[in-house]
Amino acid sequence: MSAAADPQIVFQGSAPARTLLLACGALAREVLALIRQNDWQHMDLHCLPANLHLYPERIPDAVEKAVIRYRPDYNDIYVLYADCGTGGLLEQRCTKLGVSMLAGPHCYSFFDGNDAFAERGETTAFYLTDFLVRQFDAFVWTPLGLDRHPELRDTYFGNYEQLIYLAQTDDPTLTQKAEEAAHKLNLRFERRFTGYGDLATALATHNPRG
């Protein structure tokens, strides 16, 4: 089983001064790709379950528990969550714990680039990332009950006009799946290739060896 599939797997580095990247499971593939591309051998990855996003009020406690557990083994811990629906509570908790976290309201913003995302002001757009395209049924369609009651589509998505797929990779299969999701939600489709956006910048900036 790959590290991207198992949120408990830690990607082991070899350098003596080590940094733990404590990340949302939805970012596992992207973070591991950046570690490998940049040969950040001193960085390890531990992911919390991606389904915490269904219960954002639980994220601060889960992050604190992991920080306390892993702090003795690392010189530095970097929390790879944005606010993610916690209403500022995660930032407060990270400040209390003395660890840094990603800037931005959510992953859509930092993948698109926080400044660009804020400037766009797309209030009628529903966003998907590579992870959410892969997990559309598990994280969108089924939890909202649309698999059982598709007539609820307008209740949930009636105020949206378009689905914007923020693509981290150039994958035609994912693009097709994202377009199918837009069709299911009866939304206009747009694909925007972002790459890793501010996630890559944040890791490179935080990396003392970068």
C-beta atoms surrounding 32 within 10 Å? 20
pLDDT in tens, 56-98: 999 999 999 999 999 999 999 999 999 999 999 999 999 999 9
More confident residue, 199 or 16: 199
The dihedral through the CA atoms of 59, 65, 69, 75 has a sign that is positive
> pTM (2 decimals)?
0.88
Taking residues 161-171, what's their average pLDDT? 98
Instruction: Please state, in angstroms and rounded to a whole number, the distance separating the CA atoms of residues 14 and 63.
Output: 24
Write the burial class of residue 66 (CB in 10 Å: 0-12 exposed, 13-18 middle, 19+ buried): middle
Contact 163, 132 (CB under 8 A): no
Instruction: Please state, in angstroms and rounded to a whole number, the distance separating the CA atoms of residues 119 and 115.
Output: 6
CATH architecture of 19-106+197-206: 3-Layer(aba) Sandwich (3.40)
Confidence bin at 14 (pLDDT 50/70/90) = very low
In this prediction, residue 17 carries a pLDDT of 81
Task: Break the chain into its structural domains and give their ranges.
Answer: 19-106+197-206, 114-193
Beta strand 125-128 pairing with 100-101: unpaired
pLDDT in tens, 179-192: 999 999 999 999 99
What are residue 79's DSSP bridge partners? 22, 101
